[in-house]
Every structure is written in structure tokens, then in C-alpha cells.
Amino acid sequence: MGLFPKLKAYAHLGRLPMSPLTISVPILSTFALDEMALSLTEWLGLVGLGLTTHLFGFALNDLIDHPVDRTHPARQKHPLTTGALTRHEAWSFTLLQIPLAFLFLWLCLSHGWAGSLMLGASLVCSIIYDLWSKWGRLPRLIPEIALAASVSLLGLSVMFARTTTPPTSALLWAMALGLGLLLLNSVSSGLKDLKTDLAYGARSFVIAIGTRVETDDSLLIPPALRRYSLILQSLMLVATLYLVVEFHPPLLVLIFSLILSIYGALHLRMLLTLTSFRGLMASLPLLHGHYTYTSLVLLLADRLPLLLQLLVALLVFSLLQTPVRLALTMWRRGYQPLF
């Protein structure tokens, strides 16, 4: 096999197209500390740290799940299924990301032990999630919390690599980012994968709590999942309001941040009222996670370089298209109020 097909196979294994979200974590965590000018070396370190931790987590997940996933129709083009990568090559690629992540942290950011300790803890949490999120006897909430902690710790590793005493607002921002991921991954992502997980014997958090697809399309969401979601969403809204006070962003940015935060909560509430699995999939179940993430990013918008501000503005514009389009459709066609 030529070099390009091999690189393409590695990119598929590590889900490279999804990496910008993970790469953004160390970058945004740096600006959560304060507005600052970064050197080219520091940018390299932040991007490299985010990329290597992303590749590690997703490649490890595919390696662990592949013995079961290889029979799934959607996995027939996976490089481990087609033979584009051997398991030895995939494991070597995955494990290589660990020293590379520490190298980026040490060479480009700091030699401080606290940042290294938190990066190590982040990788361990990622391993816990990959090993036990759908298999084994560990309570399913623990791996979900581990994944959220992995992201928060990644952000904290950068903060503690730059200063020994990060401000409380920055620490809470990193924790809020993890809380948003916990809500997204344990609820919405679990619901999205529900049918596949049930068919292949996996036991995700939503399945463990009692969620079922009873017929071909009948979706049963238990009250326990709604209560769990309400608690997390309430904590998320409280954290966002606190961060608004701490970061005091410009008024227009503040308004958009709160709008997206509310949209995220309403979208999740709508998902949890559905009784059709097809309706769930048609409702873009992961959308509320993008709302929540962007709401947190906006709180840092005035600290970001101009190019990143433009990218954030583009993200906000793209996210607001969906509710605006739906509102126009409802206005033109009429609708029946829920209450």
C-alpha cells in the first residue's frame, strides 16, 4: 500500500475530521486564563496536544470496539475491517500518541509537573471510557464521567502548564466544558446509538438506565433519564450564568451566548419528549451539544485573536440557521402549541 492510502487509513482510525473540536480545548483553555499573545511554538504545542489526545482516544475506542463492530454494515469500510491497517499498526499508532502528547506539552508549553500530571490523568480517564463505556461490569455512569473529566483535565493541563494558580473562572470554564460533554455523550449520543447498541449487545448508559426501542420505531425514554438530564442541564445553566458574571463579555456576545445556552436546553428537552426513534434521528440529537459548546466559547470571544473570532462568528451563524429556518417554517405553515 502506498503512503497516501496508509495515511488516509490512519486518519480514518483517529477520526481526523472531528479533531478541530478536541484541538480547540487546549487553545480555548489558554485564553480562558487571560487575553494573551502566543508564540508560534506555543501554537504548535497547543494544536499538537489537542491533536494527539484526540487521535489517541478515538483510535483506542475503535481498537477496543472493533471485534464487535466489524460485522456492522457501517463499519465495513473501516481500515481494520478492510485490512488497510493491521491491529499491530493500529496499536503502534495509538500508543505513539501518548509520548507525543507529553512532548508537545513539555517542549512547547512547560516542564511543570502539575500540567503533566493532569495530562496523564486525562489520558487515563480516556482509557477508562473506551474500556468500560459499553462493556464490562463497571457502572455505566463512571465511564461517562471519566470522558467528561478527560476533556476538563486536558484543558486544566494547559492552564497549570502556564501558571501554578489559574483563576477560579478559568477552572470553572474547563469544568463546564466537561459537564457539557457529559450531558451530550451520556444522553444525546447514547440515544443516537441506541438501536445499534441494543442490536449488538452493548450496554451504554442510556440502556442501563432503561431506555428502549420497543418495536421498529417506538422509543421509550424512562423518567430517570429525564431527571438525570434535568439535573445536568440545570448545573450547566447555573455554571454559564456564573461565567457570564466572571468573564463579563460584550453585551452582544453575552446575548448570543445566553440564546445558544437556552436553545441547547430546549433542544434537549424536545429530544426527551419524543416517542419515535426516527423522529429522534431526524431531530439532530447532537445539536444541543454544539449549542452548549458555542455558548461557552462565546464567553471568551473578546480574548481570542481576530481569525478565531471570525471562526466563532461563522459557527454561531451556522448554528442559528436551524432554529431560524424552523421558526420560518412554523410561521408559514402554522403550528399547534404544546401548551
pLDDT tens-digit readout, 172-228: 999 999 999 999 999 999 999 998 888 888 899 999 999 999 887 899 999 999 999
CB of 262 closer than 8 Å to CB of 231: no
Domains and CATH numbers, the chain: 1-166 (1.10.357.140), 167-339 (no CATH)
From the number of C-beta atoms within 10 Å of its C-beta (0-12, 13-18, 19+), residue 111 rates as exposed
What number is the average pLDDT over the span 29-37? 88
Give the position of cell 502528547: 101
What's the pTM?
0.92
| 46-96 pLDDT, tens digit each | 999 999 999 999 999 999 987 766 666 666 788 988 888 999 999 999 999
User: Which residue type, as a one-letter code, is found at position 264?
Assistant: G
210: left (phi over 0), alpha (psi -120 to 50) or beta: left
pLDDT score recorded for residue 73: 66
How would residue 338 be classed by pLDDT, with cut points 50, 70 and 90? very low
